Structure 1
Amino acid sequence: MAGRLLIVPLLALLLLAPACSDGAADADSVETPTLGACRLLAPEDVAASANSADTVDCAADHTAQTFAVGPLPSELARAAYDDPDIGAFAYQTCSTTFMKFLGADESLALRTLLSWAWFRPSQEAWDNGARWYRCDLVGGTDDATAFVLLPETAEGLMSSGVPGDEWMACVNGEAVPGAVRIPCSEEHTWRAVTTIKVGADKDPYPGDRVVEVTSRDFCDASVRGWMSYPLH
């Protein structure tokens, strides 16, 4: 999940009808995986390039839901198994579809406790001609030690614009890079309340000082507004 957009999260100190398949090992299959299928995945599963976990009934406990599948574009048909262009395609496809599936804007998508992982066929299936991708929504971020259970379907979970605290990311303790994110429904001291883009997607990095000043000013106004504090 590399290639993050140049976005700075703002933190407020608070002190404060899914589908099911037959459970076939789709990583070894040439056929495209089932859209909407649910699985009980763990963080170590999403670190792998391929996944053959059995599907489960979406009404039962699950931590992952497939929200996008499809064939790789034709220009990647002859690509090597680990070609970085495949990862770039999957990142763009999954990240965009992830927001649409949840009904989230970019700010919500960056502040949620939910994230996504993508999988390709196994090496054996690839050698047999499989050329597909699978995007799974999972109940946790990169630093999660365990995933939370998902609702029967996560589709439209954030379409109201005001998702439940159990789906939003907070920190209990010092909010430093690498701090473990927890659901905001749990006791916490820091919460991301909005985000800022300090440049367009293809813009060069503006420099640390510009990012610092722009973010500081925006954070000050945004956090005060979120907490209903006077701006002056």
Structure 2
Amino acid sequence: MRPALLVLSVLLPLTLVAGCGGKDVPAGADPAQVDSTAVPEVGACRNLKRADMAEPTNAGKLVPCTEPHNAETYAAGKLPAEAKKADYHDADLDAWAYQECGDALSEHLGATDSVVMRSILSWVWFRPSEKAWAKGARWYRCDLLGGGDGSRRYLDLPATTEGLMSAKPDDQWMTCARGTDPDHGVKLPCSKQHSWRAVTVIKVGEPDDPYPGDAAVAKKSKDFCASSVAAWLGYPSDYDYAYTWFHEAEWKAGNRRSVCWAKTNQ
């Protein structure tokens, strides 16, 4: 068997720290939302673009959830009290959102963290505009997306994603890859022809643990994935596996898991 060390971005939720635009309403934005101080509506649907992921705020126009859309707001509310005096780009806000939006997503989809992390779905969070922030607005919005960094395009979502993975997840929502390895291959739904599948997840640390270092995380991931992939494949005499582990930046953002891949067309 030939283990590979891989860095995957599709499963990693996005952290947004870029600046916000000026007074003009951006193209495609809803003027009523641009500088809104009100907590966003849960269950609202939108069509987001890749460029939207690089912004800390979003005022994309709402569309009926029965019409084509690639994003759904699954959680929203007030930021913690500490945010009242926080800087607009405070990194602690991203760490807080990682936990809040991540936990809310598992509950919303009705799935374990392992299933969610191996799905082709991802999430992004937004905050008020800088103008609204200056007025005291301190809300957050978690949006579910039909794809991630490694996806060629965002997929349309069903009318509602609540409970989408409460039973055995459909392959159209699970992450596979086509190519020589998951890192350099194209990420796509497992319902498409593929050569790699994300099959298991390992928890490599607790929330309060300090980062143990690249070598320690990589070794723990490799050892677990070697055995877990073998078990998933039914203990063949020869097999290929790969693993995705994350670095200190992702650790600080809240991630404590690595992903194991099996080379398979199943």
* Residue of structure 2 equivalent to 1:111: 118
Specify the SS of the correspondent of 2:201: strand
* Residue of structure 2 equivalent to 1:125: 132
State the alpha-carbon separation in 2 of the partners of residues 231 and 202 from structure 1. Answer: 39
* Residue of structure 2 equivalent to 1:10: none
Identity among equivalent pairs (%) = 48
Answering whether residue 179 of structure 2 is matched by residue 138 of structure 1, we say: no
State the alpha-carbon separation in 2 of the partners of residues 50 and 209 from structure 1. Answer: 36
The C-alpha deviation readout for 1:171-213, integer Å capped at 9, x for no partner, is 1002253644111111110111001123323333445554455
* Residue of structure 1 equivalent to 2:97: 90
- RMSD across aligned positions (CA): 2.3
Structure 1 gaps, min length 5 = 4-22
State the alpha-carbon separation in 2 of the partners of residues 229 and 207 from structure 1. Answer: 31
Aligned partners of 1:76 and 1:86 also within 8 Å: yes
Structure 1 residues 83 and 174 mapped into 2: Cα distance closer, same or farther (>3 Å)? same
Task: Please give the TM-score of this superposition, normalised by the length of structure 2.
Answer: 0.72
State the alpha-carbon separation in 2 of the partners of residues 207 and 81 from structure 1. Answer: 30
Specify the SS of the correspondent of 2:85: coil
The equivalences for 1:167-206 within 5 A come to 167-177=173-183, 179-206=185-212
State the alpha-carbon separation in 2 of the partners of residues 35 and 181 from structure 1. Answer: 29
The C-alpha deviation readout for 1:55-86, integer Å capped at 9, x for no partner, is 11111111000011111122211222112222
Structure 2 gaps, min length 5 = 1-12, 16-29, 239-266
Task: Please give the TM-score of this superposition, normalised by the length of structure 1.
Answer: 0.82
Specify which structure has the bigger relative contact order, considering alpha-carbon pairs within 8 angstroms and separated by 6 or more residues: 1
* Residue of structure 2 equivalent to 1:16: none
* Residue of structure 1 equivalent to 2:67: 60
* Residue of structure 1 equivalent to 2:170: 164
Q: CA deviation at 1:142?
A: 2.2
* Residue of structure 2 equivalent to 1:46: 53
Structure 1 residues 39 and 223 mapped into 2: Cα distance closer, same or farther (>3 Å)? same
State the alpha-carbon separation in 2 of the partners of residues 167 and 61 from structure 1. Answer: 16
Q: How many residues align?
A: 212
Q: CA deviation at 1:159?
A: 1.1
